[in-house]
């Protein structure tokens, strides 16, 4: 009896397969075809009649034919957007660099181009074109940074932490530093501190712990203040004679 049932099912599937179209096969429980540009959710319900459906990895195009998924036409995207096969994770003016889940959207989506974020209307604009919160105006030689500023004072090269700090703030223009009066000035206008001199190629100061640090043979255009010859920086960033390091327990 069981053998007869298996034979009937096999014969039915074979006959049905012969009547299916190109890139199709017979599904005893019925097909669940997704059209190009979409991924349908298929219910776990078995249809008694079954039917022809697209082969795995295929989708139906606008003509109703089953074609390989990679041959589906790319949907048109709005201005400043592009299609990503796995989808993307758009930033906004208020949060330009949000954490994005490592999940691939099966049907893809249109998202902002690289370097663009969504404004309050949902349009993709260049990050630099985002409006300054509360119409805040920045000072001389300053600009607004949506993710927060990282200004280096005269004589110091700050290591900036990666990350975004909404709602942002004003900071020095690229290549400028903050002087002792809180103004953004070109490095050559910085007044160097005690035991420091201005180096047009930028300093490469040693420290008490590492007096002979390797320095790149590259001249930085902005320059900066560095320790005098024979001096190194202590744990407080001040230039002191190298022989004083033991006194500072650096």
Report the share of the chain in percent with pLDDT over 90. 19
What pLDDT band is residue 155 in, cutting at 50, 70 and 90? low
3-state class (DSSP) for residue 13: helix
Nearest to 166 by CA among 94, 84, 103: 94
Asked if residues 51 and 30 have their Cβ atoms less than 8 Å apart, the reply is yes
pLDDT tens digit sequence for 116-139: 999 888 899 998 888 766 556 788
pLDDT tens digit sequence for 28-78: 888 988 888 777 777 777 877 789 999 998 989 989 999 998 888 877 889
User: What pLDDT score was predicted for residue 85?
Assistant: 73
pTM comes to 0.38
User: What pLDDT score was predicted for residue 21?
Assistant: 92
| E-assigned strand segments in 55-164 | 58-60, 66-68, 81-84, 109-112, 116-118, 124-126, 142-145
Residues of the chain with CATH 2.10.25.10: 24-73, 76-129
User: What pLDDT score was predicted for residue 131?
Assistant: 76
User: What pLDDT score was predicted for residue 9?
Assistant: 45
Question: 24-73 maps to which CATH number?
Answer: 2.10.25.10
What pLDDT band is residue 1 in, cutting at 50, 70 and 90? very low
What pLDDT band is residue 217 in, cutting at 50, 70 and 90? confident
- The architecture of the domain spanning 76-129 is Ribbon (2.10)
């Amino acid at each position: 009896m069981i053998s007869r049932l298996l034979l009937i099912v096999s014969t039915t599937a074979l006959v049905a397969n012969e009547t299916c179209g190109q890139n199709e096969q017979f599904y005893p429980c019925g097909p669940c075809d997704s059209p190009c540009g979409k991924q349908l959710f298929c219910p776990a319900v078995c249809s008694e009649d079954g039917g022809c459906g697209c082969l795995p990895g295929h989708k139906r195009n606008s003509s109703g034919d089953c074609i390989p998924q990679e041959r589906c036409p790319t949907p048109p995207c709005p201005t400043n957007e592009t299609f990503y096969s796995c989808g993307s994770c758009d930033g906004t003016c208020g949060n330009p660099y949000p954490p994005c889940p490592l999940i691939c959207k099966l049907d893809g989506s249109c998202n902002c181009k690289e370097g663009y974020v969504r404004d309050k209307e949902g349009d993709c604009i260049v990050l630099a074109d985002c409006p300054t919160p509360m119409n805040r105006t920045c000072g001389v030689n300053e600009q607004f940074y949506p993710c927060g500023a990282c200004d280096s004072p005269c004589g110091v090269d700050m290591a900036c932490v990666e990350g975004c700090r909404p709602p942002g703030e004003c900071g020095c223009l690229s290549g400028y530093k903050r002087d002792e009066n809180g103004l953004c000035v070109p490095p050559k206008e910085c007044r160097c501190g005690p035991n420091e001199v201005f180096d047009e190629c930028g300093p490469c100061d040693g420290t008490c712990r590492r007096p002979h640090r390797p320095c790149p043979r590259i001249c930085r255009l902005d320059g900066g203040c560095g320790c005098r010859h024979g001096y190194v920086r202590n744990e407080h960033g001040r230039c002191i004679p190298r022989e004083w390091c033991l006194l500072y327990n650096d």
